[in-house]
Chain A
Amino acid sequence: MLYAFLCCHDEAVVASWSKAEDDAVLAKRHKVTERLVAKGKLGPAVRLMPTTAATTVRMGREPVILDGPFAETKEALLGFYLIDCDSLDEAIETAKEIGRDEKVVFEIRPVRLFVPESKAS
C-alpha cells in the first residue's frame, strides 16, 4: 500500500526557525529517509512554499480565485497533483480545467523543494 504523508506544522513556528535550525530538521529527517531510499520505499517528496504564496481556486458555476491558502473546515484534503506550469495564470487555468463541473477547491502552492522519486526498481 502506498501512503501519503502530509506534513502539518505551525507555520509561524517554522518561519521563526533560523537557517541553521531549519537545516538541522532536514538533516535529522534525512537520516530516516535515507534508509527508506535504500529499501526502495521512498516516493517523491515535496516541500511547499509558505501559505502566503498560495492561491485558491474555488470551482462552481463561476470559479472564484482567492489569495491565500485553502482555509475551509468542511472540505478535507483528498489528494493532490504535481503539475509543471509556466506561470500562476497557467496554473489557475489548469485547475479550472481539471475541476470543471465539480465543486472541488484547489489550493495552488508553489513547490520549494522537489525530490523526485527515489524508489529503487
Chain B
Amino acid sequence: MTDLAWIDPLLRAARPKAVGALLRYFRDLDQAEEAFQEACLRALQNWSVHGPPRDPVAWLIMVGRNVALDDVRRRRKSAPLPADDAISDLDDAEPDLVERLDNSHYRDDVLRLLFVCCHPDLPAVQQIALALRVVSGLSVKEIARAFLVSEAAMEQRITRAKSRVAEADVPFETPGAAERAERLGAVAAMIYLVFNEGYSASGGSVHVRVPLCEESIRLARLLLTLFPGEPEIMSLTALLLLQHARAPARLDADGAIVLLEDQDRLLWDRDMIAEGLALIDKAVRHRRPGPYQIQAAIAGVHAHAAKFEETDWSEIDQLYAALERLQPSPVVTLNRAVALSKVQGPAAALALIEPLAQSLSGYFHFFGLKGGLLTQLGRADEAKVAFDQAIALAHTPAEAAHIRLRLDRLIKESQPA
C-alpha cells in the first residue's frame, strides 16, 4: 500500500482557494464543497499514481468543476425538468474561470468565501463554526470537540448557518475598493473571533483550545498572502502570533491559569514573537495605525520585556489611550486601568474603572481587576465581594479556580496573626 500521507497537507492547503473559486463558479456553498470533496477523492486516486500536479489548486478546481458538470448533465438526462438555466450559467462562467486561475485573482474568491461566513445575522459561534468547516475544512466532529458539544448539535448549527448564508445573497461580482475594504474588516474581525474562542474559551472545561488559535493564525496568514499591503492584516497576524506565543506558559501542569506576571517567559515561543514583531515593523511603515496595530504593539511591548518587572507600562498606558480614542469601549478602558495601576498606583486605576461598573456588570475580568485593586489598597472586605462576583461570572473552571486562589490568599493575609 502506498503511503498517501503527503497528499493530505496539499489538499488542506489548497482548500480555501479551491472552494473559493468553486463558490464563485457554482454560486452555491454546498455545491462548491461537494465538488471540492469529489475532486479530493479523485486526487487521492490520481496523485498517488502520477504524483502531484504542478498546480494542485488549479487541478482541484478544474476536476471539481468537471465532476459537478457531469453530474448536472447526467441529472438533466434522467430528470424531466430541464436545468437549462444552470447549464448556460455554468458555460458562461467557464472561460472566465480558466482565465482567472491566477494567484492575484484568488484573493477575492478566498475573501468572499470568508466573508459569507461572517454574515451579521449569524451569532459569533455560528460564524466561527462555519468558517472552520467551510474554509479550514475541519470535520464537524473536530469542530464539535472544540466547542464541547455533540456532533449532532454542531451539524445542526452548521446546517442552519449555511441556509442563513444561502439566503443572504452575497454578490459574486469582483468587489470595488470600498466593498473589498469592508469585507476585509468583517473577515479580520471573524478571524479574531476564532482566535479568541481558542484563547479564552467561552465555556466548558478547557480554558485554551490551541487548534482554534492555530487555525486562526493560518487564516490570518492566508489573508495576508492575498492582501500583502494591508497594514491592519499584518497587524492582526502579528497580534495573534504574539498572543499565541505565550500559550505554553499560560496554564500550569494542573491546568490552572498563570497570570502574565507569573509566566515563565522562557516558555514563550520565540519564533512566533520574532515573526509578530517583524510584521509590526512592516505595518508601522504605513503610518496608518488601526486598532489591530495598536493591540499588536501592546502585545509587542510585553514580548520585549524579558521579565514582568521590565514591562514598559507607560508605553502600554499610552497605547491603550490611543486605542480608546480610536475604538472607545469599556473593555479597552479596563485594560488601560491595568497599565495605569502600574504607572500611577491602584487608586488611580480604581477611579478609572468605577464608572464602568454598570456597563461591565456581567464581565468576569472587571470584578477580577476590581478585587485585585481593592486588595492592593487594603480594602479586603470590598475585595472579597468583587472576587465573589468574579467567581459567579467565570466561564471556565480555570477562571473560577484562579479567583478562588486569590480569595484564599486574601483571607489568609487579612486574618490577624
Contact = CB atoms under 8 A, between A and B. Distances in A.
Interface of A: 10-13, 15-18, 21, 49-53, 55, 65-69, 87-89, 110, 112-113
B221 A50 contact: yes
A8 to B, nearest CB: 13
B13 A53 contact: no
Nearest to A22: B271
A10 B281 contact: no
Contacts of A21: 9
B225 A53 contact: no
B282 A55 contact: yes
B221 A52 contact: yes
Given A15-B13, A68-B229, A113-B271, 11 more contacts: A10-B10, A13-B13, A15-B218, A49-B275, A50-B221, A52-B221, A52-B224, A53-B278, A87-B281, A88-B278, A112-B271
Secondary structure of the B contact surface, majority rule: helix
Contacts of B56: 10
A46 B275 CA distance: 15
B218 A16 contact: yes
A46 B332 CA distance: 40
B301 interface: no
A16 B214 CA distance: 9
Nearest to A110: B278
Contacts of A65: 285
Given A53-B282, A67-B229, A67-B282, A13 B275 contact: no
B275 A112 contact: yes
A50 to B, nearest CB: 6
B360 interface: no
5 contacts: A15-B221, A50-B275, A66-B229, A67-B228, A110-B275
Contacts of A51: 225
B160 interface: no
Contacts of A55: 282
A94 to B, nearest CB: 14
B293 interface: no
Contacts of A10: 10, 13, 56
A13 B9 contact: yes
B14 interface: yes
Interface string B319-337: 0000000000000000000
Contacts of A89: 281, 285
A19 B118 CA distance: 29
B221 A49 contact: no
Given A15-B221, A68-B229, A89-B285, A49 B278 contact: yes
B275 A12 contact: no
B12 interface: yes
Interface string B225-257: 100110000100100000000000000000000
A13 B9 CA distance: 6
B279 A53 contact: yes
Nearest to A21: B9
B224 A16 contact: no
A69 B103 CA distance: 14
A110 B13 contact: no
B224 to A, nearest CB: 4
Contacts of A11: 225
Most buried by B among A88, A89, A113: A88
Given A12-B14, A13-B13, A110-B278, A52 B218 contact: no
B222 interface: yes
Contacts of A15: 13, 218, 221
Nearest to A51: B225
B303 to A, nearest CB: 15
